[in-house]
Amino acid sequence: MTKLPNEPMHNPADRITELTDLLNYFNHRYYQDSVSEVSDYEFDILLQELTDLESRHPDLRRDDSPTLRVGGSITKNFATVYHRYPMLSLGNTYNEQDLRDFDERVRKGLYGEAYEYVCELKFDGISLSMTYENGVLKRAVTRGDGTRGDDITGNVRTIKTLPLKIRSEEQGAGAFPAVFEVRGEGFMPISSFEKLNKDLEAADEPTYANPRNAASGAFKLQDSAESARRGLDCYLYAFMSDEVFFETHEQSLLTLKQWGFNVSPSWRKCADMDEVLAYIHEWETKRHTLPLATDGIVIKINSIAQQRELGFTAKSPRWAIAFKYKAENKAGVLKSVSYQVGRTGALTPVANLDNLNEDGKGLQLSGTRVKRASLHNANEIERLDLRINDVVFVEKGGEIIPKITGIDAEQRPERLTFSITYPTRCPECGTELVRKETEANHYCPNERGCPPQLRGKVEHFIHRKALNIDSLGEGKIELLFDKNLVQTPADLYDLTYEKLFGLEKVITDEETGKTKKIGFKEKTVENILKGLEQSKLAPFKQVLFGIGIRFVGATVAEKLAAYFRNIDALMAADYASLCNVPEIGGKIAQSVVDYFADAENRNYIERLRAAGLQFETDTIPVVAESNALEGKSFLYTGTFAGMTREELEAKIEANGGKLLSGVSAKLNYLIVGEKPGASKLDKANRLNVKLISEEEFLGMLG
C-alpha cells in the first residue's frame, strides 16, 4: 500500500479505493487502538486528496468514504449511548487562504448580515459529551461514530475539575435548564503524559507517542481507579439544550465558567478574519507554554442564530473551521553525537544540535530551545546518512520529542563533514559493547559494574509496580550512589538513620543548567526508612518484578508468581516447566533460567529474603478435591454470596478446572455473581459462552 499523496495514478477509481481503505485503516488505528501510524498532517493531506477526487468523480465515492463520516466508532467494552445531538468533526486547514475562503462562504451564507467570530485553542485529546440533569452529572459519552458513543461516565467522573454538581443559583450562578449537555475535550496534561510514559517504560510496557493517544487510551480503560491515576483533565467548549438558552457562543462560555466548569481562558472574540489571523499568529508559539498539547485553533461563528442558519454538512458544521499548525521544521547543525546508557545497558545516540549561526544557543523550535534530539540507534544514523557538521532538518510536532527528519544534501559539498564513528566501548564504564543480530541497539554487557545500569536497577526496584518506595526518587538514589552507600537494591535494607542523616548534594540539570540542593534531614530520613519498612509488605509478584529479570515485566511477574507461588519453586524450574506456564514463551523462560543459574543473583535473592521481603504468593493453597471440572474453562464476574473470589478461584483449580484471564472463544463458563461487569457479560453473550450462577457452579462439583 502506498502512502504517497502525489503519486501519479492513471485511474481515479483505483486511487479512490486505495485512499478510502487506507484512511479507514488509519482511523481504526487512531480511534480504536490509540495509535498514529502517520502524522496528522500526512493524514489530512491524504483526506484532502480523496475529497478533491470525489468532488471530481462523485459517482466513484464509496458509501464508507471517510469524507462522509466522523472517523471514530463505538467499542464493545462500554454501554452504547445514542447522542441526543450528533457529535461531528470539524473541517480543517493548514493555510490562511482557506480561512479567507471560509469567511467568504460564511458571508454569502448569511446574505450580508454582520457577524463575529470566537476563536479558541484546539485542545488535543478526545471529545466528550456530558449530560446534566437538575445540575447533576448523569452521563459522559465519547464521540464514537458521531451518532452513538461509549458510556465512560466512571472514568470521566475521576476528572477533578469537572463538577459532579454545578453551582446553584444561591451560590451566585444563574439558572440552568433541567436537562443540558456540555461538550469538551478530555486531555492528559503534558506532565501526566511524561510521568505515565516513564512509568510504562520502567514496567517494560509500550509507551504512547503523544498526549492525545495517551488520553484516548486512559479514557477507555476498564478500571476507573487506573484511569484516575493517569491525571486526566477536561476543558469545556460547548453547550446544548433543546430550547435556545444562549444567544451567543461567548455567553455560553462565560456562563459555563460561572456554573463551575473548566473553561480555558484562552478564547477571544474577533470582529473579522484579520483579527482571527492575529490570534492565530499570537498563539503559534505561545501555545507551547501551556501545560497541555494543542494542535491548532477553532474558529466559530458567535451568534447561535447564525450558526443555525449556516447549518451542517454530513460531517461537520458550516459555521466553524479548525486551523491546524504544521509541525515546525528548522535547519540546524549537527555538532556532535553523544551516547547515553540506559537501565538495560542499551546505548542511545543523541544528536547535539545548534542553530545555523552556531552560537551555542541551540534551535528555537515551537517555543522551546532544542539542543538535542534522539537518534534511537545506529540504523537511524545510517538511514539519515548523517555526518558531523551536516545541516539537518529538525522537527518538533505532536510527538513532543524533537527529531531529525533529514539532511540538507545541497549544503554538504560546501561543508567540512565527518563520518560518525559508532563507539565500540561503553562511554560510562569502558566495557566492549555487544550487538545481537536481531536487535537494533548496542548494549553494554557490564550489568554489575556500569554505573547507569546499577542506578537504573535501583530506580526500577522502587517503581510503583515493584516495591513502591515513593520516598526515594532519582535524585536521592544518585546521592546514595555517590556516597557509596548503595550499589544494588539489597543495600537499601542496610541503610540506617545514622548513615543517612545529614547527607547532601548539589544536582545540576544538564538541560537548563539550574542547580538544586538535596539534603537528608530528619523528616526525609524517617520517610525513607518508613518506605523501606513498608516495602517488606509488597506482594511476591511485585518483588519478582522489582528484582529486574530481563523480559519479566509487571504482567509476566504476576503470571509467574501466581503459577509458582514462591521463589524456591521458580528458581528450581527448568526451561520446559517455565514454558508450561500459560502465556510464557521461550524467550522469557530462557531469561529466567539464565538469571537463576548465576550464583551472584541467587546470593542477591537471599539478601533480599533475609531483609524480610515477600517471596511467596499468599493465597489459599490449592488442595486437589476432584477432577469434576477437568477440561473445562471458567471465568467469573461480580461478587458471590457464599465465597470470596480467592475461594472461588481455589475451588476451580482444586477440581481440575482452568481459570482464564478474560472472555474469549476458548471460555466454556462465565460464573455470574452480584453486580457483574457489563462488558464481560456482553462479550460472553456475543461469543455464546454459557452463563452460570454460583449455585450451578457448585452443582457441577457433584
143 has binding-site annotation = yes
> What's the CA angle centered on 69, arms 66 and 71, to 5 degrees?
70
Q: Is 433 in the site for Zn ion (CB under 5 A)?
A: no
Piece in contact with Zn ion (CB under 5 A), picked from 139-147, 153-161, 279-287, 437-445: 437-445
40 has binding-site annotation = yes
Q: Residue 494 CB, nearest distance to ligand NAD (Å)?
A: 51
Instruction: Provide the residue type at 172 as one letter.
Output: G
- Which residues have CB under 8 Å from 489's CB, separation 6+? 457, 458, 461, 467, 546, 547, 608
Q: Is 517 a catalytic residue?
A: no
90 has binding-site annotation = yes
522 has binding-site annotation = no
Give the helix, strand, coil percentages of the chain, each rounded to 5: 35, 20, 40
Of 35, 110, 310, 429, the residue at the interface with Zn ion (CB under 5 A) is 429
Measured in whole angstroms, the distance separating CA 166 from the mean position of its chain's CA atoms is 30
Question: How many angstroms separate the Cα of 634 from the Cα of each of 629, 651, 658, 699?
Answer: 9, 11, 6, 14
Phi and psi, residue 77, nearest 5°: -90, -10
> What's the CA angle centered on 123, arms 118 and 127, to 5 degrees?
100
661 has binding-site annotation = no
Q: Is 122 in the site for ligand NAD (CB under 6 A)?
A: yes
Q: Is 43 in the site for ligand NAD (CB under 6 A)?
A: yes
Helices (H), 162-210: 190-202
Piece in contact with ligand NAD (CB under 6 A), picked from 34-42, 537-545, 598-606, 668-676: 34-42
Q: Tell me 387's DSSP state.
A: E
Of 444, 552, 592, 650, the residue at the interface with Zn ion (CB under 5 A) is 444
Piece in contact with ligand NAD (CB under 6 A), picked from 12-20, 76-84, 115-123, 221-229: 115-123
Q: Is 150 in the site for ligand NAD (CB under 6 A)?
A: no
How far apart (Å, rounded) are the C-alpha atoms in residues 235 and 560?
A: 43
Closest CA relative to residue 488, chosen from 408, 337, 607, 390: 607
Q: Are 78 and 126 in contact (CB under 8 A)?
A: no
**DSSP-derived 3-state class of residue 525:** helix
Q: Is 307 in the site for ligand NAD (CB under 6 A)?
A: no
Of 181, 395, 428, 478, the residue at the interface with Zn ion (CB under 5 A) is 428
Q: Residue 323 CB, nearest distance to ligand NAD (Å)?
A: 10
Asked whether the CA dihedral 256, 262, 264, 265 is positive or negative, the reply is: positive
Of 3, 24, 44, 427, the residue at the interface with ligand NAD (CB under 6 A) is 44
Of 66-85, which residues contact ligand NAD (CB under 6 A)?
70-71
Q: Residue 599 CB, nearest distance to ligand NAD (Å)?
A: 50
Of 19, 22, 27, 355, the residue at the interface with ligand NAD (CB under 6 A) is 27
Q: Which of 76, 122, 160, 651 is catalytic?
A: 122
Of 217-276, which residues contact ligand NAD (CB under 6 A)?
237
Q: Is 123 in the site for ligand NAD (CB under 6 A)?
A: yes
Q: Is 325 in the site for ligand NAD (CB under 6 A)?
A: no
Helices (H), 536-664: 540-546, 554-564, 567-572, 575-579, 586-597, 599-611, 645-654
Q: Residue 548 CB, nearest distance to Zn ion (Å)?
A: 16
Report what 34 binds from ligand NAD, Zn ion, none; CB cut-off 5-8 Å by kind: none
Closest CA relative to residue 541, chosen from 551, 553, 529: 553
324 has binding-site annotation = yes
Q: Tell me 167's DSSP state.
A: P
Q: Is 450 in the site for Zn ion (CB under 5 A)?
A: yes
> Hey, which residues does 165 pair with through a beta bridge?
136
429 has binding-site annotation = yes
Helices (H), 167-287: 190-202, 211-219, 224-229, 249-258, 273-286
Q: Is 346 in the site for Zn ion (CB under 5 A)?
A: no
54 has binding-site annotation = no
Residue list, annotated binding site for Zn(2+) = 426, 429, 444, 450
Residues of the shown chain interacting with Zn ion in the complex, contacts defined by CB under 5 A: 426, 428-429, 431, 444, 446, 450
- Tell me the catalytic residues: 122
In the complex, which residues of this chain contact ligand NAD (CB under 6 A)?
Answer: 26-27, 30, 36-40, 43-44, 70-71, 89-90, 92, 120, 122-123, 127, 143, 185, 237, 298, 322
